Structures are given as C-alpha cells and as structure tokens.
Structure 1
Amino acid sequence: MRHVFVEVLVLISLVILELSYAFAPISSYQWVVSYSQRFILGGNKQVIVINDMFPGPILNATANDIIVVNIFNNLPEPFLMTWNGLQLRKNSWQDGVRGTNCPILPGTNWTYRFQVKDQIGSYFYFPTLLLQKAAGGYGAIRIYPPELVPVPFPKPDEEYDILIGDWFYLDHTVMRASLDAGHSLPNPDGILFNGRGPEETFFAFEPGKTYRLRISNVGLKTCLNFRIQDHDMLLVETEGTYVQKRVYSSLDIHVGQSYSILVTAKTDPVGIYRSYYIFATARFTDSYLGGIALIRYPGSPLDPVGQGPLAPALQDFGSSVEQALSIRMDLNVGAARSNPQGSYHYGRINVTRTIILHNDVMLSSGKLRYTINGVSFVYPETPLKLVDHFQLNDTIIPGMFPVYPSNKTPTLGTSVVDIHYKDFIHIVFQNPLFGLESYHIDGYNFFVVGYGFGAWSESKKAGYNLVDAVSRSTVQVYPYSWTAILIAMDNQGMWNVRSQKAEQWYLGQELYMRVKGEGEEDPSTIPVRDENPIPGNVIRCGKVR
C-alpha cells in the first residue's frame, strides 16, 4: 500500500509539472559541440565550438519560458554544459555539473529541459568537465522580463554581448595533465573579446543611440577591469538584479560575474566621428595583461586616437572593495515580477544557521590540491544527485563535512552539506591566502552583505548592509579577507558550491549543498518533495548504470 501511495504522489507531481509547462512558451535549440582549429592571439589552437561558432550562439528567453537544449557531443571525450547563474527552480537534474549529471558520452546527445522561473538578466553557459572551458564552448544568455513588467530604464536601441576572459596557448588537455601532475596553471597569454584577440572585435555605434552591453568574465583565473575610452558606463543590472543606476569609469569584473551597462553614443554637430578603445585589463596580477576591442562610428577611421582611461593599479584592492560596496540593489523597481525588488526584506529574517567556508591548499601524495574546511573534493563514480535519488547511503555520510575551524588534518573527501528547505543561511567565505577568490552557488542568488580584511568574527555583523545589498550568484573574496552572504534556501535539490577559478575548482575547491524537504531525514518515510521528478531521459552511470 505504501508503495502505491508513493507512485500516486510521483504521478501527481508529474501532472503538476506538465501543467506548469503547458502554458509556458518554449525556446528550443539544437547544438552540436565539436572541435575546430582557430587562429587566436597569433597562433592556431583546437577550440570547442557550438554549431561551428566560437563563442557559441546566444541563448535568448523571456522569464518563465521553458528552455530546451538538445546537445550533440561530437567531441572524443565526455561533455556537460552548465548555465552559470540560472536558478533552475527545483530542477538540479539539469544543472550540468558532475554532481548532478552523468556525462554526455562521445557520439551521443542529451536534451536539457528547464524553466527560467521568475528570473531575468545577463548570464553565460560553459562546459564543466575536463577543463574544457579552457578551449571555449561558452556563450551568452539573455533572459528578458515579461511584457507586463516594465524595465527601469529606456529601451536601448541595440544590445551587444561581450564575453571577456583570459586565454592560453596551451591545449586544454595539456593544461589538464599539468594540474593532474600537481602543478599550477601558468599565467595567461592574453585576453579575448568574444573569442578574438586585440582590435579584432568591434561594435558599431550610431550617433545619439543608447546601447546595452551585457558583459561576462568567462575566463579561467583573472579578474578583469573593463572600461571604454571617452564613454560613460551606466551600470543597470548584475546577474538578474537591477541596481541603483550609477556611472562608472571602469568596472572590476571577477571570474564568473556578469554585468549590464548602458552606453550612450556620442553626437557631433559637424558629423565628424572617430573610433574608440574598449579595454579589459588584468587586476591583482604581477604583470600587465590586456585585451582591446573597438567602437566604430559611421565613417570613422579604423584606428582610435589618444589613450583610454587609466587602469587601476594592479594591486589596489581598496578601490575594488569600495566599488563593490557601491553596487546596491534598486529597491523600487520590479524585475521578473512587477512587485519591487525591495519587497523582500531579507535583513529582517532570522538566520537559522551560519556556515564558514575556509579555503586553503594541501598536498596529496606530493601533489597540489585545494580545500574548503580542510576537505579537497573528489567525485564518487555515481553523481550525487543519483546517489541521493536512489538512496545509495554509503556514498553521502551525513555530518561528515567539518565545520570551521577544525583541528582535522586536510584530506580528500566528498563534501555534502545538508540544509533544510526554506532555512535562511548566513555564509562567510574566509580567504587566508594571497590570491583573490571567486565563488559561485548554482541554483541560487544571494545577498552580498559584507566584505572585510582579516579574519571574520561575530562583531563584523554590525557593519552588514541589511537593506539594499546586491543580489547575485558569484562573489569575490579578496586576499586575506572575508565576504559574507545571506541566502534563502528556497530551491530544493543538490547544488554545487565552487570556486569559479578553474584551477581551484578542478583541484577540489568545491562542495555540494543538499537542500531537503520535510520527511527526508529518514529514508524509510515518504519524502514530501517540492522538486521536479527524475527526468525520463536521465543518463545513468556508476552504480545505477
């Protein structure tokens, strides 16, 4: 009788899911992932292309649309795609990371299907396995608001997607082998704009028109400072949050972050125009590294004249922190819904749990690894989402993730943190190292309430922004510093928490949050889930092959 009841619950959930899908528009894509030789930064390199495009095609949708992406893997190695910043409401089955999906094997295809529920903004997608991101395979995502929800700025005349990131001459398989041998990645060889080298990418401007530039840092390790010669940048959105409008001469964009700016083209009564530089230069590195794109007006000479705005000092962390604190949510406007963003008073909600995530390094058999709270993550043969679904309880051991501080010796392990559905969590990212960190949480946006130098303590809460902190999915942690976030755990599933820096992620600086509904503490009880059921096309591997 109990099993019949479970089957009825599953059937009801499937019907509800299909009804929710029935009236939503569908954006469908067919993507073929393959290799292509491309001439980049003066040399040939094997690049991952999508439909023979690098970067890949723009994924366009409107809030609450269903997105269907059928990916054909023509690479000679397994492949997965993740959707950086999309929340995939209660559907971590579609997350495209090793903890949630079995890989798409060479010569096969798999279809992602998810709804961008109550979400707008600028994002990007990229491959998650085997350091493939170092070979490309990424592209821009635009999620527009519903027609009845006003955008809090005049409609731009045109939009451009700008994907900036560091680039390496080395093939990604060589880079991967180096990491496997316990070595760090070398310094990058250059900065790309939309997959091209210096002055190979240009954006056409018409006098007097307004342009929305959607900018994402898709690189592996380098924070980039973005600026435009003789043009103001009005920041309006970051990762799905409309922010208080403010003009910036330059913006620090950390690995994995996305921003939207408005730029108004110049007008000249005589009609004489020239071209202008767009710069993306490395921050917090030991040497200068930069990329250049161009703005061209009708009839303008190809080469710009003069110099662009000065880059911030390479190691000027103070100005970067000041800028980060100046980016605040616009409480008075709607985003995916018409109700104001400030209608959710996050600062008045009782925190149910504080988690400190302390990154560090370790040696395992003489090889470099990265840790969170003394654990360097290793994957089991079966993705954790399937482990959880089929209750393979020998893989996920509750309570094994160490709290910080810990007197345990750093070790390899599979870190899974159990969190109750609808808890309100305070997370502190503590960085004791010289390098700058960048953290991302799949399936969630969070409120960035504080930054600080040194060690975090309870007294730091007095300086938190509990009114209009920006909400985003990727946040930086400065050297020898901490960053504090508040997050409402309203999205059930198995969600990846990772360093966005490719080397750290690949070598173990990640964990998973298992957000569980009522009745899931005891596997013998009937779970009351508010989560999408296992997809019918799920790929099986490992113990559930």
Structure 2
Amino acid sequence: MKAIMINDKFPGPNLNTTTNNNIVINVINNLDEPFLFTCKLGYKKRSHTLQNLYDSLDLHVGQCFGVLVTADQEPKDHYMVASTRFLKTVLTSTALLRYDGGKGAASPELPKPPVGWAWSLNQFRSFRWNLTASAARPNPQGSYHYGKINITRSIKLVNTVGKIEGKKLRYALSGVSHVETETPIKLAQYFGVADKVFKYDTIKDEPTKVDTSDILVQPNVLNIEHRSFVEIVFENQERTTQSWHLDG
C-alpha cells in the first residue's frame, strides 16, 4: 500500500494559528513524481516574486516553494491537501490548519484538483520576479537589465531515451548518458588531471540529429567560461512530460 506522508506523518500534522496571522510555510517535494498542494486559503509565492494569490500549487520533482498563508478564513479547522499529479492512481494526504478558538470541523469534502497539464504549465508561467524588491543587483556583465546582455553561447539540451546494446534503458542529453567517474570530477580538476579522467564538451552546442539507437554512456561535462552569459534551451522530443532540476 502506498501513501503520501507530510513531515513523516499520515495524516499530516496539525498547525495552530490565530485569525489574521500570516504564516510562512515551506513546501518541498521529495517524491519521485509531481504533487499538488491545495488549501482553501490564499497563497502568495514569496522569495522576491510578485505576490499572486493561489488556491493550489503544483510542485514538480525536487521543487521547493515558500508560501505566505494569511489566516483570514472562517475560524474553524481547514484542510491542506497534498495529492499526486499526472498519475492514473491518485494518492492523497491531508494536514490540518486549526484556528485558536475556532468552532467547527474541517469540511469532509476535499477540493478537486485542476484537470490537465496545461493548468500546471500556465501556473508556472505566472510566476514573475519582483525586480523592485531589495537592492539593485547587477549581473556579472555589469548590466542591471538582462535584456541588454549579449549572449556569448547558446546550448541546446535534447533529452532522449534509448537502450544500450538493445537491453538496458538509458536516458540521455543530446545522445550522451552521464555516468560518474571513478575519480570525482572536481577532484580531478583540482589536481590538473581532468584530461585523464573525462573529456569536456562531448556533446555539441547545437545537436543536428540525435540517434536514440546509439547512446553513449560517459561523463557529460560542459566547459563554460566564468562570468559568461549562456543561454540554455531545453528540448523534449519524447511523448511524455519531462522534469528538469537545475542546481547551482
């Protein structure tokens, strides 16, 4: 039996609040698939983004959102719901937001999730950075406006899937499926022996045609100059939605 746990609990924990309090909740997706976080309270995505109101938030694999919840609803118990997305079997878990002195149990009818992947895509496109928040911060090229920066390099990453020797299924970027080296990459760079451990730029910046029947299994490391401004284009040629995690 599978279930979604919130903070290692099923059902999730109870959160106590007072009417008109502002609560910051950090929501992290540690699952292997996307999930939907829903509540009948108003959400405002923070971290210097424009403060928009949301009833639900789609969190893809590895994503972390900080949200500001205003306790301005009827003083009683309210459910916060986490449910799986884009899967045939829907799993659901709840946490309870409890008003101090509130009267009444949470509604047993959980809110229905939005239908279709287009809703998730449009929500993500609605997130906008607040350029007036905090102090002005120039980018590495000295400009305060990213639209005025000259792109020094453009890299297209095409995700593909294929089988190695007709047996083992592997996912790849532009025809190369990454494997870790016996000597850690950063260690090899530090001691100046990178050329003996791996090769830089095994994929082209603009792949012409990716042959899924000939996937290479080797370290996939791109050599990029420090403080250069690089445009990265993600291209999905598969028939299924792919999740990307950018770190750094």
Q: Which residue of 2 aligns with 1:363?
A: 163
Structure 1 position 324, deviation (Å): 1.3
Where does residue 36 of structure 2 map in the other structure? 225
Aligned-partner residue type, residue 121 of structure 2 = V
- 2:19 pairs with one of 194, 199, 207: 207
> Alignment length, in residue pairs?
240
Partner of 2:86: 284
Q: What displacement does 1:351 show? A: 0.8
- Is the partner of 2:61 in helix, strand or coil? coil
Q: CA deviation at 1:341?
A: 8.5
Counterpart of 1:484 in structure 2 is none
Select 1:297's aligned residue among 99, 108, 121: 99
- Distance (Å, rounded) in 1 between the aligned partners of 2:69 and 2:113: 19
Alpha carbons 1:235, 1:262 under 8 Å: kept: yes
Q: Secondary structure at the match of 2:5?
A: strand
Q: Residues of 2 paired with 1:436 and 1:192: CA distance? A: 25
Aligned to 1:405, which of 194, 208, 213? Answer: 208
Partner of 2:58: 252
What amino acid sits opposite 1:347 in the alignment?
Answer: G
Render the CA deviation track for 1:373-431: whole Å, top value 9, x for unaligned.
11111112100011111122222223423442345521211111111111111111112
TM-score, length-normalised on structure 1? 0.41
Distance 2:201 2:22 in 1: 53
Higher relative contact order (CA 8 A, sep 6+): 2
Q: 2-side partners of 1:318 and 1:332: how far apart? A: 30
Q: Is the 8 A contact 2:28 2:65 kept in 1?
A: yes
Q: Return closer, same or farther for 1:377/1:306 CA change in 2, 3 Å cut-off.
A: same
- Structure 2 CA distance for partners of 1:301 and 1:197, relative to 1, 3 Å: farther
Matching of residue 376 in structure 1 with residue 188 in structure 2: no
Structure 2 counterparts to residues 360-509 of structure 1, below 5 A: 360-365=160-165, 366-392=167-193, 393-403=195-205, 404-406=207-209, 409-443=214-248
Deviation, 1:348, is: 1.1
How far the C-alpha of 1:340 sits from its partner, in A, is 6.3
* SS at 2:50 equivalent: strand
Counterpart contact for 1:333–1:340, Cα < 8 Å: no
CA gap 1:304/1:388 in 2 versus in 1, 3 angstroms? same
The alignment's TM-score, normalised by the length of structure 2, stands at 0.87
Return the structure number with greater helix share.
Answer: 1
Deviations 1:305-358 (A, max 9, x none): 242432111xx1222221111110111111xxx336897311110111111111
Q: What is the CA–CA distance in structure 2 between the aligned matches of 1:317 and 1:439, rounded to whole Å?
A: 16
Match of residue 243 from structure 1: 49
Letter of the aligned partner of 2:90 in structure 1? Answer: Y
Structure 1 contact 373–405 (Cα < 8 Å) conserved: no
1:328 aligns with 2:128: yes
Pairing of 1:169-208 with structure 2 (within 5 A): 189-198=2-11, 200-208=12-20
What SS does the corresponding residue of 2:124 show, helix, strand or coil? helix
Shift in CA distance, 340/398, structure 1 to aligned 2, threshold 3 Å: closer
Question: Do the aligned residues in 2 keep the contact of 1:375 with 1:415 (CA within 8 Å)?
Answer: yes
1:267–1:232 distance in 2 versus 1, CA, 3 Å: closer
Partner Cα distance (2:88, 2:148) in 1: 43
Spell out the pairing of 1:98-113 with structure 2 (5 A cutoff): none
Instruction: Give SS of 1:361's match.
Output: strand
Give the Cα–Cα distance (whole angstroms) in 1 for the partners of residues 234 and 164 of structure 2.
Answer: 23
Gaps of 5+ in 2: none
Which protein is richer in strand relative to its size? 1
With 374-383 and 426-435 compared, the bigger mean Cα shift is at 426-435
Distance 1:430 1:385, change over 3 A: same
Distance 1:389 1:301, change over 3 A: same
Equivalent position of 1:350 in the other structure: 150
Partner of 1:146: none
Name the % identity. 30
Whether contact under 8 Å (2:136, 2:144) holds in the other structure is no
Superposition pairs of residues 59-208 of structure 1, within 5 angstroms: 189-198=2-11, 200-208=12-20
